[in-house]
A and B are shown apart, each in its own frame.
Chain A
Amino acid sequence: DSGVTQTPKHLITATGQRVTLRCSPRSGDLSVYWYQQSLDQGLQFLIQYYNGEERAKGNILERFSAQQFPDLHSELNLSSLELGDSALYFCASSVGDRERYEQYFGPGTRLTVT
């Protein structure tokens, strides 16, 4: 157990819908990261937040947005869902915001869009 929690574990929804994935970082970690793992694209970095502010952005679609709240938990919002958005979404956390800080991964949320 890494100490990073994600809810829900599984989510099944229809195309065109909107969902919210939630992540709680390890105690003391200020950075939160979101990654998407799909069969087509592999494991890809989406976005990083550090202490409430966006720190780095990867291949995140405009239909997706994220935020980090004052209690440091983060939410990833996915809207106008398409079949291709079906994937495993991982959250990770680290103490700091730079490359020398190790990232710890949560168990993931499996999203299925039908």
Chain B
Amino acid sequence: AQSVSQHNHHVILSEAASLELGCNYSYGGTVNLFWYVQYPGQHLQLLLKYFSGDPLVKGIKGFEAEFIKSKFSFNLRKPSVQWSDTAEYFCAVNAHRNAGNMLTFGGGTRLMVKP
């Protein structure tokens, strides 16, 4: 079975600091990778996704992620965070299977950005 690990549970940064959130998955086959964000009291929104091609993926709001297949990692980065980036971030994977489209999520990382 596939699993996803997010090693940072809570991150506190000051505005303008750089961000990197770790995500590792375990699955030996082909996967699609996602980062979702959940702002306080809101639903999950897709930040970016990787299906194939260039392993450096750019998403919305200045976020990017790099897929490193050899490390089974898909880390999220942003060069300069803003107070409005305060949210919970989820990494998710779906494996190419015979049927279905289930997402497996990591435990989430709560980011707090201090103004």
Within 8 Å by CB of B101, from A35, A42, A98, A107, lies A98
We find that the number of chain B residues with CB closer than 8 angstroms to chain A is: 24
Question: Which of B36, B42, B95, B108 is A99 in contact with, Cβ under 8 Å?
Answer: B95
Tell me, in angstroms, the Cα distance from A113 to B95 when the chains sit together. 34
Q: Answer whether residue B43 sits at the interface, using C-beta atoms and an 8 A cutoff.
A: yes
Instruction: Describe B's contact surface by its main secondary structure.
Output: loop
Is A56 in contact with B105, judged by CB distance below 8 angstroms? Answer: no
Whether a CB of chain A sits under 8 angstroms from the CB of B94 is yes
**Shortest distance between the CB of B52 and any CB in chain A (Å):** 9
CB contacts (< 8 Å) of B99 on chain A: these are: 55-56, 97-98
B42, B51, B100: residue with the most chain A Cβ atoms closer than 10 Å: B100
With a 10 A CB-CB cut-off, give which of A42, A55, A107 has the most chain B CB atoms: A42
